[in-house]
Amino acid sequence: MYVLIINAGSSSVKFTLFDKDDLKMVAHGMVERIGLKGTKIHAKTAAGKRVSKETRVADTRQAVELIADLLTDKNNSDVQPGADIAGIGHRVVHGGDFINRSVVVDVSVKQIIKKCFELAPLHNPPNLEGIEACENIFPGVPQVAVFDTAFHKTIPQRAYLYGLPYALYREDKIRRYGFQGTSHQYVSRTAANFLNKPLEKLKIISCHLGNGCSITAVDRGNSIDTSMGFTPLEGLMMGTRCGDLDPAIVFYLMEHKQLDPAQINHLLNKQSGLLGLAGVGSSDLRDIFQASEKGNRQADRALGIFTYRIKKYIGAYTFALGGIDAVVFTAGIGENSPLIRELACQGLKNLGIIIDPEKNAAINGTCGEIQSDQSQVKVLVIPTDEEKEIALQTLELLHKV
Ligand code: ADP
């Protein structure tokens, strides 16, 4: 029996098929550029065959149908639709103020996902489409929704409310929600296993540094604060997002640059961060490193700002948690860049955080400890695996059904 994970995004659908018993990945892949010219499916099937072809897919529903055909195609695997799939786990971005855990999908859960469309207009609609497509293709197979925001539901009010009129929270639900919760939950749980200590006894700062970046303070398994806010724009500087910003800059842009809300949205989400500051025409850290190595001072400056922000949050969350046991680095940058890890932890000796340069350089995309013997705080690199976390949570819930 298998568990299927579907991550339906704004223009792509990713899927992973796990063996239900040992959570080994059996097949995985994605359909990308949905609704655009040059839609492609790339996959590794259950029979170990690599598939990569152009196709025509108009929407999420058709993409899920294509994935289901591939999974159940006799030449590629022997998965029987429905019969062999024990459950389907879906990544859903926003559960708003309504959902604080993963749930088995029913009519009321679908209504909640719909209610949150305005909070995540690019993500929740395709997430729901993915669920409804699976209901048609795999009738009777239980489906679970795992929300990006759910892990952060334990954040106390003092950390999730903004200094705005309270009515804006009460009536419009403007508050910090936090995102990337599935990743923060997975790496904090994995860090506890790695350290061979119960998660309930650990205070962890989890740094998810990918294209999107966020930091979470995890107190004995519970998120108590996180850097992304009402939307993923707040907090750390990211690939193309600006992160923390004085809101008055928005009025300045409106008045002095005559930008409208859509243009400002685009500027802050798509043209800022590493892309905007480094000015090398790319938000990919590897390109920025390359420019920096060639003496590009603008690229250096961007790296300095990027890592300073991480350090600032590590400091703030150390105090929010009242001391920490471990800092965890994860995602594309956190797992693969010793330099960013080093710069982010530089000068944190007073907080008990000291990196060992050799151990740090030796870890690239694998799990490991990188602190020095003198460091009071463990510094870990833990590759994230959101799909596996969704599979774990799906199976946990299916056992209860
Ligand atoms: P996403 O948020 O899209 O899932 P990822 O977690 O894959 O993103 O992270 C993408 C980022 O990771 C990019 O900025 C990329 O430059 C960076 N990255 C990937 N591999 C390396 C590497 N070897 N060294 C430095 N940065 C890397």
Reported as a pLDDT band with limits 50, 70 and 90, residue 71 is confident
Q: Which of 352, 321, 322, 327 is nearest to 340 (CA)?
A: 327
Q: What is the pLDDT of residues 135-185, one digit of tens each?
A: 999 999 999 999 999 999 999 999 999 999 999 999 999 999 999 999 999
Query: Which range (8-22, 76-90, 119-133) has the least confidence?
Result: 76-90
**pLDDT confidence of residue 189:** 96
* DSSP E strand stretches across 154-251: 203-209, 213-219, 222-226
Identify residue 202 by its one-letter amino acid code.
L
Q: What angle do CA 97, 182, 283 make, to 5 degrees?
A: 105
Reported as a pLDDT band with limits 50, 70 and 90, residue 330 is very high
Which of ligand 1's atoms lies nearest the C-alpha of 285? 16
Distance from C-alpha of 111 to C-alpha of 325, rounded to nearest angstrom: 40
Provide the percentage of residues in the chain whose pLDDT is more than 70: 98
Residue 401 has pLDDT above 80, yes or no: no
Distance 100 CA to ligand 1 centre (A): 29
Q: Whose CA is nearest to atom 7 of ligand 1?
A: 332
**pLDDT confidence of residue 130:** 96
Distance 287 CA to ligand 1 centre (A): 11
Q: Which of 324, 73, 334 is nearest to 201 (CA)?
A: 324
Distance 309 CA to ligand 1 centre (A): 18
- 300 assigned to active site: no
CB of 90 within 8 A of CB of 105? yes
Q: Span 354-371, mean pLDDT? A: 95
Q: Which of 22, 73, 78, 148 is catalytic?
A: 148
This prediction's pTM: 0.93
Which of ligand 1's atoms lies nearest the C-alpha of 365? 23
* Strand, helix or coil for residue 347: coil
Q: Which of 32, 337, 381 to mutate to test the pocket of ligand 1 (most atoms within 8 A of CB)?
A: 337
**pLDDT confidence of residue 129:** 96
Q: Whose CA is nearest to atom 23 of ligand 1?
A: 336
- In this structure, the dihedral spanned by the alpha carbons of residues 324, 330, 336 and 339, taken in order and rounded to 10 degrees, is -30
CB of 88 within 8 A of CB of 3? yes
- The rounded radius of gyration (Å) of the Cα atoms in the chain is 21
Residue 109 has pLDDT above 70, yes or no: yes
Which structure tokens are listed for 73? 């195609």
**pLDDT confidence of residue 78:** 66
CB of 380 within 8 A of CB of 327? yes
Residue bearing tokens 């330099």: 339
Which structure tokens are listed for 165? 């009129």
**pLDDT confidence of residue 77:** 65
**pLDDT confidence of residue 82:** 61
Which of ligand 1's atoms lies nearest the C-alpha of 274? 14
- In this structure, the dihedral spanned by the alpha carbons of residues 289, 293, 295 and 300, taken in order and rounded to 10 degrees, is 30
Query: Which range (77-86, 355-364, 366-375) has the least confidence?
Result: 77-86
